[in-house]
Structure 1
Amino acid sequence: MILLLFFIAALAALSIGLHWLIEQPGSITLDWGGYHIETSLVVGAAALIATIAAIIIAWAIIVYFFQAPARLKQGSRAKRRERGFQALSRGIVAAGAGHLAEAKRAAREAVKNLDKEPLTYLLRAQVAQLEGDRVGAETAFHEMTQLSETRLLGLRGLHIEAKRRKDEEAAHHFADQAHQLTPLPWAGHALLEHHGAQANWEEARIAIEANLKAKAIDLPTAQRLRAVVETALALEKQAEHPSEALHLARQAVKRAPDLTPAVALIGRLLAHHGDSAKALKLLEKAYAEQPHPDIAEAFLEVAPSESNAERLARVKKFVAAASHSPEAGILVARAALAARDFASARKALAPLVAEGKTPTAQVCLLMAELEDAENGPSGPVREWLARGSRAPRDPAWIADGVISRRWAPASPVTGKLDAFVWATPPEPVRGPTEDARADIPAAFLTRPERLLEAKAEEEGATA
């Protein structure tokens, strides 16, 4: 509407101007080369305007003909780019779907029409990966690192290829390069895994702070990882620098109160400093909140020189606040067996083997040991050994398929920090024997001590 009003106003102004020009008296006279031309002012102005328009049109025609080859070339280039991008689109979709033949055809067409386009390197790398051509994939990723637009993508591709061929140093090198350019989450996690695998705890602390600053991890995650690294440092320093180790373990517990290995370590270090009373109080409180074998083991180490009867009395008091826990019953039963208090051992294990309950392998072995110690080799001993061979496994520290009796700050497989969790291991696949009973070695049917020793050896080998 506004443009229409402007157009009407311009027409009105032009009409008024022409009317004014026509009414003005005067003429234009031109003498040139023997010619004498005389005309009115309006006709002269019109002739001038027509001459200027003709010159402009002629110049445009000349320029058009001179620029025609360039325009044709540009149009051809635009068509090639369009075909190239269409090929890129088809190729990336085909590579994602695993259609190798279509992806290769599209890659060839894309390279032909878009040789310097960054995405063509990505498509070439994907095709090489589909073919299993690791050298070709690494070559494409390396070429991507030469371009600023795809440098980070190329470094990540090289990192992944290095991990696939199990070249940890090369994988760390590429992750470190990417992290220096831009602190990305994948690079930060890769650095943490490398330092965890190498037990470079000070470097791991620096990497945690860098990841937090770059917002690659949130604050709760950073606090947890800080606690894990501080516990690892404390474990390293507990022998030569116990005071420093105690400070680190306390820091770890402040950051992650549920980090059981740090709590157990504090108890041991306090006892090492001669403050057994404080250690016992700390461990009793921790066990009441979270009954865990690591805390119980630390508790038993506080007074190793006591008699078996004294230890049994102390253990009963220790587990009083967590008597409902299966771990408490197992701990009391072990102490009672050592003190040859069979009644207390049987009472502690009774809730775990009651009707409707499914005792674990450890509970079954304790029952077998109890029956053997109290009544000698007998039918109940063999029965409990047989049940133990089929019973669910007891909880343990597990990380990336590795089962360990001891906690570790990082996975031994990947180096991932805080990978170990306390959980029940998956059950192994068992096959029945010819008589449909569990296949129990004959040596284990005579003395339960052999089964206990074998289980300890198996757990040690697994760790």
Structure 2
Amino acid sequence: MIRILLFLLVVFLLGLGFAWLADRPGDMIVTFNGYQYEVKLIVAAVAVTAIVAAMMLLWWLTKSIWNSPYTIARYFRVRRRDRGYQALSTGMIAAGAGDAALARKMNRQAAKLIRSDQEPLVQLLDAQASLLEGDHEAARSKFEMMLDDPEMRLLGLRGLYLEAERLGHREAARHYASRAADVAPQLGWASESTQEEKVERGDWDGALKLVEAQKSTRHIDPSAANRRRAVLLTAKAMSTLDSDLPAARQAALEANRLAPEFAPTAMIAARALFRQDDIRKGSRIIETAWKAEPHPELADLYVHARPGDAVLDRLSRARRLQSLKQNHPESSLAVARAALDAGEYKIAREEAEAAIRMQPRESAYLLLADIEEAETSDQGKVRQLLAKAMRASRDPAWVADGFASERWAPASPVTGKIDAFEWRVPVERLGQLIEQDEEVSQAVRPAIEAPSKPDADMVELASELGESKPPPPKAEPRKRQEAAAPPVTDAVTEDEEPRPTRLPDDPGVNPEEAEQSQRRFRLF
């Protein structure tokens, strides 16, 4: 477009100049070799212009003839290159679609038309075609050849990393990822795998440097980077808490500053502060995390912040924690545990029952059973509560990739993924899915179903205590199930043998057998 405008401008200026000369007539006299030539000025200007144009045309024609071999060669070279890129494009599309035959065919055509050192995509198409054909050895060799080319090095490392992951060679995959992360830390796959390796080895500082590199290159969201730093700093503080308390405190406080509502950061920061007798600051950290999401470990740490406190002082601290998050089962359970330790059984029972009303789960029933045993020693009620605990929903736990743990960890033990643990309820207990597994059902079902016949020992005990109904015929004692004792029912049908309408409590249970019974009820 610019050239056209320049051409029109030159033509306009020439026309304007000739018009100006035509309006101003004049003669031009030229003396040469004794002759005198006289012409009009306009004629002389046209002649000069024609001579210049002829010289330019002659120069262009001479130059074109001189450069014609190169021009012809360049034409065929460009045509060949265009055909090669067309084949390369078709091959890449075929590789993406999974057409191995067409991808290999187009790769051969592209390799003939384009040199691989000039176009790296030819090598990539070759490797992709080998992968589609199932020739992984050839693909790995091609990826290894790419390592010698600085432009293709990252692509080769990526290919070798994926091949190592496919074969399950975790160490080799992390080796390639580490090499890629050294060159380009902004690569997510490389930095993630390298961080997992460093976390597994306990190299917290190295993992933190990678996070900083990702954050500086803006290839990771700042909030995600802060969360990752908080997790790594928490793990670093946990590993150095016993050996280097000042460094652990510094790392824990920085982690808590980045994620103040994350329970593990609050717990490790509070522990470090409590060890240095900074009870007030540690308590504030726990209170902040408790308001966001109550956690039983936070409650235990808060209540036992001062080892020398009396049990009533611990109950008061539990009450303080409950006031920060009311109408929550963890708050009620924290007060119930503190009240049980203090011997305030009424308060403990009320809070435990309140927790059950809000969320009936295993720990609440077990705590209520402990309260019942401590207050009344009523083994019948204790066993009833233990049976309810066995059937209740599980308590929340740290879960990552299907693995449930009582303690938080910075990475998943299954996949090695960082920050994989979540505080949530794991899959339901095996006893609630027992009907789907016949083998387990045969072992556990007697412990969760009511017996068809009453225990002979219980019937004899009822007759000794003066029950109104006559005892049933003497029968062989049923073998006790190892899983748990069966629950007692109050009513009987017409088809069943006579049994007492209401069985009394069993005051004759041996305390050791009761403890074993309680342990048997806990399937998990």
Identity of aligned residues (%): 33
**C-alpha RMSD over aligned residues:** 4.5
Give the deviation of 1:331 after TM superposition: 2.6
Aligned to 2:216: 213
Q: Do structure 1's residue 425 and structure 2's residue 429 form an aligned pair? A: no
Aligned to 1:7: 11
Aligned to 1:240: 243
2:398 match: secondary structure: strand
Higher RCO (CA-CA < 8 Å; seq separation 6+): 1
Q: Distance in 2 between matches of 1:265 and 1:244?
A: 12
Give the deviation of 1:23 after TM superposition: 7.2
How many residues are matched? 443
Map residues 26-425 of structure 1 onto 2, 5 A cutoff.
Answer: 59=62, 63=66, 67-68=68-69, 73-116=73-116, 117-186=119-188, 187-274=190-277, 279=282, 283=286, 286-288=289-291, 290-303=293-306, 311-312=314-315, 315-337=318-340, 342-354=345-357, 359-367=360-368, 374=376, 376-378=378-380, 381-382=383-384, 385=387, 387-425=388-426
Tell me the amino acid that sits aligned with residue 344 of structure 1. Answer: I
| Distance change >3 Å, CA 61–CA 406, structure 1 → 2 | closer
- 1:410–1:417 Cα contact (<8 Å) kept: yes
Give the deviation of 1:396 after TM superposition: 1.5
Tell me the amino acid that sits aligned with residue 219 of structure 2. Answer: A
Give the deviation of 1:120 after TM superposition: 1.7
| Distance change >3 Å, CA 273–CA 148, structure 1 → 2 | closer
Q: Distance in 1 between matches of 2:331 and 2:60?
A: 101
Q: Distance in 1 between matches of 2:326 and 2:17?
A: 103
Aligned to 1:443: 482
Q: Distance in 2 between matches of 1:164 and 1:317?
A: 54
CA distances 1:105-128 after superposition (whole Å, capped 9, x unpaired): 333333333341211222233333
- 1:312–1:336 Cα contact (<8 Å) kept: yes
Give the deviation of 1:426 after TM superposition: 3.8
| Distance change >3 Å, CA 317–CA 149, structure 1 → 2 | closer
Q: Distance in 2 between matches of 1:110 and 1:205?
A: 45
Give the deviation of 1:167 after TM superposition: 4.0
Q: Distance in 2 between matches of 1:440 and 1:325?
A: 35
Give the deviation of 1:165 after TM superposition: 3.6
| Distance change >3 Å, CA 134–CA 278, structure 1 → 2 | same
Give the deviation of 1:348 after TM superposition: 1.3
| Distance change >3 Å, CA 56–CA 238, structure 1 → 2 | closer
2:334 match: secondary structure: helix
Consecutive unaligned residues in structure 2, runs of 5 or more:
448-480, 486-512
TM-score calculated relative to the size of structure 2: 0.68
Give the deviation of 1:51 after TM superposition: 9.8
| Distance change >3 Å, CA 141–CA 2, structure 1 → 2 | closer
Tell me the amino acid that sits aligned with residue 109 of structure 1. Answer: Q
Tell me the amino acid that sits aligned with residue 83 of structure 2. Answer: R
Q: Distance in 2 between matches of 1:183 and 1:87?
A: 34
CA distances 1:191-241 after superposition (whole Å, capped 9, x unpaired): 322222221012223223322322233444343333333322222222233
Q: Distance in 2 between matches of 1:264 and 1:134?
A: 49
| Distance change >3 Å, CA 189–CA 26, structure 1 → 2 | same
- 1:396–1:424 Cα contact (<8 Å) kept: yes
Tell me the amino acid that sits aligned with residue 97 of structure 2. Answer: A
Give the deviation of 1:72 after TM superposition: 5.2
Q: Distance in 2 between matches of 1:364 and 1:25?
A: 126
Q: Distance in 1 between matches of 2:335 and 2:57?
A: 112
- 1:369–1:449 Cα contact (<8 Å) kept: no
| Distance change >3 Å, CA 225–CA 128, structure 1 → 2 | same
Give the deviation of 1:292 after TM superposition: 1.2
Q: Distance in 1 between matches of 2:215 and 2:265?
A: 23
Aligned to 1:36: none
TM-score calculated relative to the size of structure 1: 0.75
1:353 match: secondary structure: helix
- 1:284–1:318 Cα contact (<8 Å) kept: yes
Q: Distance in 2 between matches of 1:53 and 1:307?
A: 109
2:482 match: secondary structure: helix
Which range is displaced more, 274-283 or 233-242? 274-283
Q: Distance in 2 between matches of 1:128 and 1:320?
A: 66
| Distance change >3 Å, CA 26–CA 155, structure 1 → 2 | same
- 1:287–1:319 Cα contact (<8 Å) kept: no
Q: Distance in 2 between matches of 1:138 and 1:227?
A: 38
Tell me the amino acid that sits aligned with residue 142 of structure 1. Answer: E
- 1:358–1:391 Cα contact (<8 Å) kept: no
Q: Distance in 1 between matches of 2:249 and 2:322?
A: 25
Tell me the amino acid that sits aligned with residue 10 of structure 1. Answer: L
1:432 match: secondary structure: helix
Tell me the amino acid that sits aligned with residue 139 of structure 2. Answer: A
Aligned to 1:32: none
Q: Distance in 2 between matches of 1:281 and 1:24?
A: 106
1:302 match: secondary structure: coil
Q: Distance in 1 between matches of 2:28 and 2:279?
A: 120
1:398 match: secondary structure: strand
Q: Distance in 2 between matches of 1:272 and 1:114?
A: 70
- 1:280–1:299 Cα contact (<8 Å) kept: yes
Give the deviation of 1:296 after TM superposition: 1.7
Q: Distance in 1 between matches of 2:227 and 2:219?
A: 14
| Distance change >3 Å, CA 88–CA 48, structure 1 → 2 | closer
1:81 match: secondary structure: helix
